[in-house]
Amino acid sequence: MNIIEKIFANHSTKEIVFPGEIVDVMIDARVARDFGGANVVNNLIDNKLGIHDATKTFFTFDTNPGGSDQKYAANQQFCRMFARENGIKVFDINTGIGTHQAIERGLIQPGGTFVSTDSHANILGAIGAFGQGMGDQDMAAVWAKGKAWFKVPESVKITLIGKKPKNVAAKDLILNLLNIFGANKLLGKSVEIYGDEVDNFSLDERITISSMGTEMGAIIVFFAPNETIYKHLEKLSGLKSPRIAADDDAHYSEIYEIDISAFTSMVARPGHPHDDATVESVKKTRIDSAFIGSCTNGRMEDLRIVADILRGRKVASGVVLKIVPTTDEIWQQALDEGLIKIFKDAGALVSNAGCGGCAAGQVGQNGPGEVTLSTGNRNFAGKQGKGEVYLASPATVAISAIAGYITDKIEVFDKPVEFVSTGLKLNPQKNVAKILKEKPLIVEGRAWLILEDNIDTDMIFHNRYLAITDLSEMGQYAFDNLKGFENFAKKAKVNDIVITSKNFGAGSSRQQAVDCFKALGISCILAESFGSIYERNAINAALPILTYTPEMIIALGLKTADEIIVDFMNGTVINKTNNKSFKINTFYDVQKEIYLNGGLL
């Protein structure tokens, strides 16, 4: 077996598992964050469910450490009260990012299983453990049962050959890989990375690469730990690390060999982490702000690199540099080593440990027209505010903050950047939609053709609304961040059917990106493929989703507003306008069971 198959088998009742098989997997650590935690608790209370094992159950307050938003503060305190009553450990606002706490404190060891309401829980692949992001219902079920159902994914093996160039950081490496694979070529796959150069990667470098597996569409990106990594983990946690590795005769659905010697420093252009370009090709693009941190690039190696660049230099006039260490332990170490003073002397804003700019809940909002260069893992439109966000390595961000424009070479910036307002205004809708109560296996409705690949969860349900917990309020915000479909919620009717393309629901683990369609009464969503977490959330929320092949649109002569019939169990779509039919994939057995049950809970 390969790594994910071994982990699933070791945490189930099976001795061996196969791709496509549905397996109940015991979870070693189950984490709810501040923005999703309140919904997890509400799901438990509403369904009269208890806690399976409080010693394996945790809260992490990392997206808004400080409660600067009233709804975040209310959710955090609600979770604290629940934790006190149920003996649950809280990693509060003074600790840092939950996935990194799991590694540093030994909550998860190599070969273990970890789930979180953080879509980057798969960062645990950096230590050879399984991590998965989940929605609120999914997490409530894990807290109550201690296990979750998973479909065993196919595994892909990537071997990196050649030497990594000196100016190529781990962030550059993953951006180069994103440039090769895009957002959906590895969709739903478990990826294992090997190579002679890989064996020299530090824990921090492995974390950077694994943390962007979500942006590649992968379930997880695994690194098999070597003895250096095992010793590092044991020093961090004080615990003996179990060993995990794929078998020599493990099966992989795809095998790639990639020469990294030609890789170069890269940026991801605004809007999509996989829209990548060389730094040289966008050089001299002026920036208004810069951010160094997030679960991808806020560790000690990153901060030391930044300090070496900033020492004795100043951030360019007109540019704001924000630095957020990943954990409080790293913050303290940076203080002890004198790095914090270097940052402050250079003119940077240094915040307490947390997600910082990535989640836009701490220090990361940018304004209309503002251009930000960030070390985060995600730059979806609106993710960090109303401006544009480029992604790059810590070195590139630090050098650019000094120059005032994107560059990976130390230069002198001649003129401050002028801030330009685009005059964008938020105009939330007012309607409260009906919610369907029945669970038919055949539905009929009006088709919405939204044929775009990689529609992410920020496009579906923007993170500015994450604190909303009332289902009846969610429908009005569906697609309000998807260009061309901002008025979708106003025009949508009960029973409408959404038809989209590849990787629908990429990105975040937010449940609202599913529930907003339930609030509008959308009867089902058809796509060529779904983001891995989104697929789970939709199935568990009893929102019907099915996949089709690209030929369907032409075969049915489909146009927006056509009346169509979808049969979930027979996998048939009929266009009533011309009476043409087409076969698509049917419900899974587990999907039907959950759907007819009215949802996972």
pLDDT in tens, 462-508: 988 888 888 999 999 999 999 999 999 999 999 999 999 999 999 98
What is the mean predicted confidence (pLDDT) over 238-257?
95
Supply the pLDDT for residue 386: 83
8-state DSSP, 419: P
pLDDT: is 416 or 540 the higher one?
Answer: 540
Supply the pLDDT for residue 204: 96
Supply the pLDDT for residue 463: 84
Distance separating alpha carbons of residues 597 and 593, to the nearest angstrom: 6
In this structure, of 243-257, 273-287, 404-418, the range with the lowest mean pLDDT score is: 404-418
- Of the candidates 520, 526, 513, the residue with the CA atom closest to the CA atom of residue 482: 513
CB 115 within 8 A of CB 132: yes
What is the mean predicted confidence (pLDDT) over 196-211?
96
Supply the pLDDT for residue 236: 87
In this structure, of 99-103, 360-364, 527-531, 583-587, the range with the lowest mean pLDDT score is: 360-364
Place 224 in a pLDDT band, splitting at 50, 70 and 90.
very high
Place 418 in a pLDDT band, splitting at 50, 70 and 90.
low
Distance separating alpha carbons of residues 523 and 499, to the nearest angstrom: 11
Residue 530 has pLDDT above 60, yes or no: yes
Supply the pLDDT for residue 423: 55
Place 38 in a pLDDT band, splitting at 50, 70 and 90.
very high
Residue 32 has pLDDT above 70, yes or no: yes
Cα 284–chain centre separation: 30
Non-local (6+) Cβ contacts of 419 within 8 A are 288, 318, 367, 369, 370
In this structure, of 430-444, 486-500, 507-521, the range with the lowest mean pLDDT score is: 430-444
Task: Return the percentage of the chain with pLDDT > 90, whole number.
Answer: 84
pLDDT mean across residues, the chain: 92
Supply the pLDDT for residue 421: 52
Burial label, 113 (beta-carbon count in 10 A; 0-12, 13-18, 19+): buried
What is the mean predicted confidence (pLDDT) over 510-518?
95
Residue 431 has pLDDT above 60, yes or no: no
Place 416 in a pLDDT band, splitting at 50, 70 and 90.
very low
What is the mean predicted confidence (pLDDT) over 444-466?
94
Residue 266 has pLDDT above 90, yes or no: yes
In this structure, of 56-60, 255-259, 268-272, the range with the lowest mean pLDDT score is: 268-272
Query: 591: helix, coil or strand?
Result: helix
Cβ neighbours of 269 (radius 10 Å): 18
Supply the pLDDT for residue 438: 63
Non-local (6+) Cβ contacts of 149 within 8 A are 22, 23, 24, 25, 590
Tokens of 271: 């809007």
Place 359 in a pLDDT band, splitting at 50, 70 and 90.
low
Taking the alpha carbons of 141, 142, 148, 153 in that order, is the dihedral positive or negative?
positive
Distance separating alpha carbons of residues 522 and 460, to the nearest angstrom: 14
Task: Return the percentage of the chain with pLDDT > 70, whole number.
Answer: 94
User: How many angstroms separate the most distant Cα atoms in the chain?
Assistant: 73
What is the mean predicted confidence (pLDDT) over 52-72?
86
Distance separating alpha carbons of residues 95 and 116, to the nearest angstrom: 16
User: How far, CA to CA in Å, does 100 sit from each of 13, 96, 232, 238, 458?
Assistant: 29, 8, 14, 15, 24
Q: What is the DSSP string of 127-156?
A: GT-EEEE--HHHHHHHHHHSEEEEEPPPEE
Distance separating alpha carbons of residues 78 and 301, to the nearest angstrom: 36
pLDDT: is 423 or 323 the higher one?
Answer: 323
Catalogue the E-assigned strands of 43-168. 57-60, 89-91, 113-116, 130-133, 147-151, 155-161
Supply the pLDDT for residue 424: 45
Supply the pLDDT for residue 63: 86
Supply the pLDDT for residue 436: 39
Residue 414 has pLDDT above 60, yes or no: no
The full set of domains in the chain, from first to last, is 3-259 (3.30.499.10), 266-403 (3.30.499.10), 442-596 (3.20.19.10)
Residue 420 has pLDDT above 90, yes or no: no
Cβ neighbours of 47 (radius 10 Å): 14
Distance separating alpha carbons of residues 517 and 433, to the nearest angstrom: 10
Supply the pLDDT for residue 298: 93
In this structure, of 363-367, 506-510, 512-516, the range with the lowest mean pLDDT score is: 363-367
Place 412 in a pLDDT band, splitting at 50, 70 and 90.
low
Supply the pLDDT for residue 415: 53
